[in-house]
Structure 1
Amino acid sequence: MDEERDTEEIEPELLEEIAREIEEIRSLEREVGFRGSAAAEARARRGDVPPETRETRGGRRVAVKPPIQDVFRRGDEVLVQVIKESIGTKGPTLSTYISIPGRYLVLMPGLNRVGVSRKIADEGQRRKLRQIMHELNPPKGLGFIVRTAGLDRSKRDLARDLAYLLRLWKVILKRIKKAKTPAPIYQESDMIIRTIRDIFNSEIDTIWIDEPSAFERAREFLNVVMPRFVDRLKLYEGKVPLFQKYGLEEEINKIQRRQVHLPEGGSIVIDQTEALVAIDVNSGNFRVEDDAERTAYEMNLRAAKEIARQLRLRDLGGVIVNDFIDMREEKHRRGVERALREAVKRDRARTKILRMSQFGLVEMTRQRIRPSLKRSVYHECEHCGGGGLVKTVESMAIDAMRLIAFALNKDGIRHIRVEVCEEVATFLNNRKRQELAALESNSSVTVHVCPSPGAVREHLVVQIVDAHGNEVPFLPAPNPPAGPPPRRRR
């Protein structure tokens, strides 16, 4: 009853606030000249753009959009949003379809309708949410999508989020009016605010933050969006670091390892390459009643849940190939597919999962928005070229012997100095001593192997000195660089 009275008191205030924000936004839009998306504005200013046409492809009518150079011309002012950060050599992806996420809603200027997230499948819930949004009467020209977090939220919660997004859009319009292009207009909240916005719910008892300024930002955000839960935000002032106290340091270390051990036995191994992510499922010592088929099925079910979790934690995207343990029964194969689809439902990134192949492979794609955790934390190894491998001591010793033999073909030389790492020097002076002595006696040239403290495994420098003590130029055919071969340009 108290909740109902609170709702009755607060909703009129929220609706009045929404009405005020709508009126101010309309006024600002008239000043800014904003008419839907930036692309629409560009077309409106110039009437010579070919319209979007439709043609038949594969028995279906599909939209054919005009070339980008016919939509925009040099000097056009365009409002764009970065929807994907630059990854490797690929630049950022831009869109004129602006979307600004709130706690329960997403604001989409120019959409001019309300919708519900596709992840909310129940038609009754979808109708209820649409009805609430229509009752809130959002302004024309602005679209709103109810996020999955908005499921089972009250009208008051949605109204508060709507008012917050309208205030934010009003600020953005003011910046558009004042900005001289090119100019940044709006940047999404920092990680702490995004985490509270996207993850926090009523089941979480406490939010701990150990940095005073971040604590204040979070409190301001909660006061605006979720004032009922402000008292759950706490400033941590303990002597033990926050991550150490709650065991987060070890969890962070785990998600940077290649192998992930599962609680009841078995593991998954994650390898990230340039083209795709490969995930291998290993049963290890996991067994179910000495039944190989049942063991494989139960292991794959557990692995499917952990794979979905690791994809979220590591922010892995693009093409992902999961190599499950082979199963003979079709119902088990379909069961693993269903388990994987169920496990990725809570993932905010879009995913698409194909059927399991006859080899036990499940191919899937996951939306890539930013570089993965591995790309963000590590850079390419300077010694192995990113391949993850360096030559063995014996291989480097053989390379050194070949260069010495090549250098002996020079005329008038008296001394060869070979500089290698300490491990390779030890190998040459012990295991290759007889071969070096044979080369020296057959050519009357002295060979001196010098260890270089701190040198990397593949360090190899050969110097040649003649009878007068002068260094002789020595340019052998270069060895191919370590690491994977360069990718072909597409």
Structure 2
Amino acid sequence: MSEEILINVTPRETRVAIVENGMLQEVHVERATKRGYVGNVYKGRVQRVMPGMQAVFVEIGLERAAFLHASDIVRPSLPPTDAPEGGKQNGHGPVPPISELVHEGQEIVVQVVKDPIGSKGARLSTHLSIPSRYLVLLPHSRTLGVSVRIEEEAERQRLKDVITPLIGDNHLGYIVRTNAEGQSEESLAFDVTYLGKVWRVVQENIAKAKVGERVYEELSLPLRSLRDSLNDGIEKVRVDSRETYEKTVKFVQKFMPVLSDRVEHYSGERPIFDLYGVEDEIQRALRKEVPLKSGGYLIVDQTEAMTTVDVNTGGYLGSRNLEETVYRTNLEAAQAAARQLRLRNLGGIVIIDFIDMVDDEHKRQVIRMLEKGLARDHAKTTVYPMSALGLVEMTRKRTTESLERQLCEPCPSCSGRGTLKTAETVIYEIFREITRAVRQFNAQKLLVMASPKVVGRILEEESAAVAELEEFIAKSIRFQAEEHYSQEQFDVVLL
């Protein structure tokens, strides 16, 4: 499989695209005015304790207070024990009341695990974790875990055998990342040393920091992408900024020297994203409808509660029978849905409404295709069995806003509803408002200002109704078209 990382840098925005076999799979955006907070560590102060929610709001210097749940608070009084790989490192057993863990006004060191999304503040944890290329340091744990994505038992044991003497008795926990598979002792030893230095600096920063100050900052988007994604499977990393290219080369030479020859500066005249068709793919990823090669299509709808994906056969008629047509469409849809979730960075609860199938084996094959498509997704996903209605429930871990929420805003005309009142509906609202105004206030004449479409319809198709209304209220009404008014907007002025 051919895989490349493209890094596009402009003065106020950086974008990273991951392209597999010429097809865009992931795109990440970071703007100077809106850098994400995930991974950053702050010294905060407990602002408000909410016993009913088993949570507290913490002031960390952001626009909104951040949220910390009792289950995300380290409980050092418990003896250190091994934890499930990648899970919380202590806190086994029932969670004590929040008031026993923290109190109002208490200073606390926290890490952002989820960016502010919509109207919600950032989500916090006191289970700090600092990632490097091959390891994740867990300062409040003594666990040594190995990523579940490293499946071969012999390799898992080798990694544990290599790392155990390296960490000695430094009383810190580590998780071995998927990237560590097949790596040498030297590479892993470098990471252990690096993380030790970083943690010492963080401890020094904590000691002198004031409330609301950041004590550890996650890497910038280009370096973060290379740390998490650059491996033997990546053929090229192309960077279109000389300055960022030099930074990435230094980073790669320091952490992944054997891959440093894969980073190159792109100096072509055409924008790098245009060259690979990434810009067009981003535009398509902002649409609801996703066409399938067979003629079918998906409808992707993101709401506050969940994301729904509806599968339709469209113009695909198949060649055998209805069941075979539905099965082929669902197989293609499963693959396309997995890609769209990753590309659009959709998280939380996802419901995929496949076309109804009768054959149980067909249902299993569709689920397998979906899971196969999600296998390369860096975000944690969980897929549940298909329901009797042909619905597949799944979850995808969400830490940042979706692509649509990053690049778009609600429509000012419909306020994000996706629909507008018809001109006819607005006209009857105007008529009601006129009647209401005349009963409340004295006026000889009335002026109605509305959008050109609404005014045009009133004068052409509703002229008889206007004449009746003028006779009923015994006053004349004048209509004025306003170009800048939306279809739902109008004003009734008494003259």
Normalising to structure 2: TM-score of the pair?
0.77
Distance in 2 (CA, whole Å) between partners of 1:72 and 1:370 is 27
Equivalence for 1:164: 194
Cα deviation for residue 286 of structure 1 reads: 2.9
User: Deviation digits for residues 55-87 of structure 1, max 9, x if unmatched?
Assistant: xxxxxxx71122222122355443221111122
Number of residue-to-residue matches in the alignment: 411
Distance change in 2, residues 1:176/1:438 (3 Å): closer
Q: How does 1:123-162 map to 2 (within 5 A)?
A: 123-162=153-192
Query: Structure 2: which amino acid aligns with 1:219?
Result: V
1:173 maps to 203
**Equivalent in the alignment of 1:484:** none
Counterpart residue number, 1:225: 255
Deviations along 1:187-239, whole A, 9 cap, x unmatched? 11011011111112223232111223322221221121111222222222222
Q: How big is each residue's C-alpha offset from its partner over 1:19-64, in whole Å with a ceiling of 9 and x where there is no partner?
A: xxxxxxxxxxxxxxxxxx98456x69xxxxxxxxxxxxxxxxx711
Q: Contact 2:134–2:176 (CA<8 Å) still a contact in 1?
A: yes
Partner of 1:244: 274
User: Which whole-Å CA distance do the structure 1 matches of 2:263 and 2:478 have between them?
Assistant: 68
- Contact residue 294 and residue 329 of structure 2 kept, 8 A: no
The alpha-carbon deviation at position 422 of structure 1 amounts to 0.7
Distance of aligned partners of 1:366 and 1:442 in 2 relative to their CA distance in 1, 3 Å threshold = closer
Report the CA distance between 1:341 and its aligned residue: 2.2
1:192 to 205, 216, 222: 222
Q: Which residue is 1:28 aligned to?
A: none
CA shift in 2, pair 1:442/1:106, >3 Å: closer
Report which of the two has the higher share of helix.
Answer: 1
Structure 1 residue 429: Cα displacement: 0.6
Larger Rg: 1
- Where do 1:21-40 residues align within 5 Å? 39=74
Alignment of 1:296-307 (within 5 A): 296-307=326-337
Q: State the Cα deviation string for residues 71-129 of structure 1 (Å, max 9, x = none).
A: 22355443221111122222211111111122221111132232111233333332222
Corresponding residue of 1:54: none
Could you tell me which of 318, 324, 331 is aligned with 2:348? 318
Are 2:461 and 1:445 aligned?
no
Task: Pick which of 449-458 and 197-206 moved more.
Answer: 197-206
How far does the alpha carbon of each residue in 1:368-420 deviate from its partner, in whole angstroms, 9 at most, with x for none? Answer: 21222222222233332221111112221222233334445568643121111
1:78 alignment partner, one of 84, 103, 108: 108
CA distance, structure 1, for counterparts of residue 96 and residue 114 of structure 2: 23
Q: Aligned with 1:103: secondary structure?
A: coil
2:408 alignment counterpart: 378
Q: Deviations over 1:417-458 (max 9, x none)?
A: 111111111100110112222333455421111111221111
Q: Please say if 1:204 is aligned against 2:234.
A: yes
Which structure would you say has the larger RCO, counting Cα contacts within 8 Å and 6 or more residues apart? 2
CA distance in 2, matches of 1:385, 1:426: 24
8 Å contact kept, 2:74–2:140: no
**Residues 448 and 97 of structure 1: CA distance in aligned 2, closer, same or farther (over 3 Å):** same
Q: Which moves more between the two structures, 142-151 or 319-328? A: 142-151
Q: 1:153 deviation in Å?
A: 2.8
Listed as ranges, the matches of 1:385-424 within 5 Å are 385-409=415-439, 413-424=443-454
Root mean square deviation, CA, Å? 2.4
Verify: 1:344 aligned to 2:369, yes or no. no
Q: Are the counterparts in 1 of residues 383 and 395 from structure 2 also a CA contact under 8 Å? A: yes
- 1:385–1:412 distance in 2 versus 1, CA, 3 Å: closer
Q: Are the aligned partners of 1:39 and 1:78 in contact in 2 as well (CA < 8 Å)?
A: no
Question: For residues 145 and 303 of structure 2, what CA distance do their matches in structure 1 show?
Answer: 38
Sort the Cα spacing of 1:378 and 1:153 in 2 relative to 1 into closer, same or farther, 3 A: same
1:280 corresponds to 2:278? no
Secondary structure of 2:480 counterpart: strand
Which residue number corresponds to residue 83 of structure 2?
Answer: none
- Once the two structures are superposed, residues 135-159 of structure 1 have per-residue CA deviations (whole angstroms, 9 ceiling, x without a partner) of 5345521111111222233333333
Query: What stretches of structure 2 of length at least 5 have no aligned partner?
Result: 1-71, 79-91
